[in-house]
Structure 1
């Protein structure tokens, strides 16, 4: 898989920047709000999927991460993963 969780963050912040564009007219704002809602829906599904991956890693005792949620070897959070 090529796409990572960091790519999702970049898309979300890019949309946030588009929503903050003060040069948008009323139609442009509506278009970006609609696009933002669509992105939010997909992002929520992706985040839920990532949560399942983390739960799986914890349950199975794995520490390597996945293609989508790679692990760089640095332990940042106390706990199993």
Structure 2
């Protein structure tokens, strides 16, 4: 899988950095969109963790739980 939770963190931190850029600040509406998508992905990860717990699964590619990192 190409995108990992670490990538999400990097995008969210880049958004914060963009908002703090005094010379070329990130558009507020764009930052809100990034934050909203990030929130959806966090909720999705919570569901994934719960499913792993309930089904006694062995890992998650997105969260990199119980799997070797590539």
TM value normalised by structure 2: 0.82
Higher RCO (CA < 8 A, seq sep 6+): 1
**Structure 1: gaps of 5 or more residues:** 74-81
Residue 43 of structure 2 is matched in structure 1 by 48
2:60/2:66 contact within 8 Å kept: no
Unaligned runs of 5+ in 2: none
Post-superposition, which runs of at least 4 consecutive aligned residues in structure 1 deviate over 2 A?
none
Count of aligned residue pairs for this structure pair: 67
Root mean square deviation, CA, Å: 1.7
Between Structure 1 and Structure 2, whose CA radius of gyration is higher? 1
